[in-house]
Structure 1
Amino acid sequence: MTASAEPRVATLYRMVMPTHICPFGLKARDLLRRQGYAVEDKWLTTREATDAFKAEHGVKTTPQTFIGGQRIGGYDDVRRFFGKSVPDPKATSYTPVLALFAMTALMAAAASYGVYGTPLTVRGAEWFIGFSMAVLALMKLQNIESFATMFLNYDLLARRWVRYSYLYPFAEGLAGVLMIGRVVTWLSVPIALFIGTVGAVSVVKAVYVDRRELKCACVGGGSNVPLGFLSLTENLMMIAMAIWMALAL
């Protein structure tokens, strides 16, 4: 059965309460409308009404969509009905790191343009690495316990000295901020060189020597980023920045 064979009217049951409006209900309604369906928007305004609806239709969740008298299901089911992909929350992905690097590159280009009148400068490249380090540290610090737990899976120094897994985000953030301002270079350079080298060696051993399939803690402990090339890139950038700034002293 295809969507094109169905009537262009859909009935949507979703929770709309004074203290809660179901976000998946809003997403389902938006998707149905974008697919050209008129939506009969049925609100479940109390917990009792919601529980009664679930019991009547033998479902565990809302929203629920019906088309032509047939129950399609929840938001993910509606996406499948229209032939759209449904992301797997457990699937590994490089998207978070790529998005972060893209944003910090744009930030560096904007700063370079504002100061020098051109987006492409050596200083802009320095800012890109400094911004990336600072934002990566921020991502880790959102939940430092979760980061530390994931970091201990592969970092060689953290395995010997657990407190290092808690200090790492602060060290990365400090080095990044100091490098952005090109201040206290005598401190930022050794910090970046040290944590970058330890990190690079740890990634190489875990991924390319031991052949382990792990998730990277580079954007925080809750990410599904696989440990590998991009993880190694983070550390190599710190090493390169440290060497560059040391030579510029």
Structure 2
Amino acid sequence: MTRSDPKTAVLYRMVMPGHTCPYGLKSRHLLRARGYAVDDRWLETRAATDAFKSEHDVTTTPQTFIGGKRIGGYDDLRRFFGQPVADPNATSYRPVLAVFAAALALALAASWAAFGRIAPLQSAVWFVSFAMVLLAMLKLQDVETFSTMFLNYDLLARRWVPYGKVYPYAEFAAGTLMAAGALPWLSIPLALTIGGIGAVSVIKAVYVDKRELKCACVGGSGKVPLGFVSLSENLAMVAMALWMLAR
């Protein structure tokens, strides 16, 4: 296992007929990107994998060795090279920002397709409505988990629990109808209701009660902090509903 060449690494990873460890592939790629020649050793059976773990007193694979010293798994390898390792419990605005970026791109594309130019007002309407549909889609992937997280702060859901399961369908419907400019008698009250209650709920939870919570806006598994972004989403719904009502 020991190599005299400091630029050579020994990598043990699972490569079985029904499973190739993705972190083994990522470890190999990282090593090669750092200029290491990789002695790529496959663990091709469960028995071989278990024997390797027992021999080296480790619980996971892949495992990398450099200069005869065990570096560890993929995260350990990243640390060895001074690269950041993501904290699975860390909060992040990335999911909701990705939704907003996608909604904006779609709104601008739709405007260009419809008018041959960027129409600012119509693009803004489509941006909000597309964002609503995309956010609802994320919630609808697992309504049960979303509704459970939603109960942490939504005022209406706390009084009437089924509202947590109704909300994503209402958001989806309101966003779709607003994008089409159809049935304003339905889309406007829906957006005003869910957006208004949502805004008040966020204000109370975050700015009045000073609670640190995760937002259910991208579904129940998201790590988005409840706060300004969540409030902006709800206020945008209310603003667009009021604009459509005034128009």
Q: TM-score, normalised by structure 2?
A: 0.96
TM alignment of 1:112-131, pairs within 5 A = 112-131=111-130
Task: State the shift of 1:108 in Å.
Answer: 0.9
TM alignment of 1:52-63, pairs within 5 A = 52-63=51-62
1:15-53 Cα distance to aligned partner (Å, 9 max, x none): 011111111111111111111111111111100000000
Equivalent residue for 1:246? 245
TM alignment of 1:160-175, pairs within 5 A = 160-175=159-174
**Percent identical:** 64
Equivalent residue for 2:230? 231
Task: State the shift of 1:121 in Å.
Answer: 2.4
Task: State the shift of 1:120 in Å.
Answer: 4.6
Equivalent residue for 1:189? 188
* CA distance in 1 between partners of 2:76 and 2:118 (Å): 45
Please tell me the residue identity of whatever aligns with 1:210.
D
* CA distance in 2 between partners of 1:96 and 1:76 (Å): 22
SS at match of 2:41: strand
Equivalent residue for 1:29? 28
Equivalent residue for 2:154? 155
SS at match of 1:153: coil
SS at match of 1:245: helix
Q: Does 1:144 align with 2:143?
A: yes
* CA distance in 2 between partners of 1:203 and 1:209 (Å): 9
Please tell me the residue identity of whatever aligns with 2:40.
D
Please tell me the residue identity of whatever aligns with 1:170.
Y
SS at match of 1:173: helix
1:213-233 Cα distance to aligned partner (Å, 9 max, x none): 111000000111110000101
1:98-133 Cα distance to aligned partner (Å, 9 max, x none): 111111111111111121222352111111111100
Please, which runs of 5 or more residues in structure 2 have no aligned partner? none
SS at match of 2:87: coil
* CA distance in 2 between partners of 1:121 and 1:111 (Å): 12
SS at match of 2:101: helix
Equivalent residue for 1:78? 77
* CA distance in 1 between partners of 2:180 and 2:39 (Å): 57
Equivalent residue for 1:68? 67
Q: Does 1:176 align with 2:175?
A: yes
Q: Does 1:38 align with 2:40?
A: no
* CA distance in 1 between partners of 2:111 and 2:36 (Å): 48
SS at match of 1:213: coil
Equivalent residue for 1:88? 87
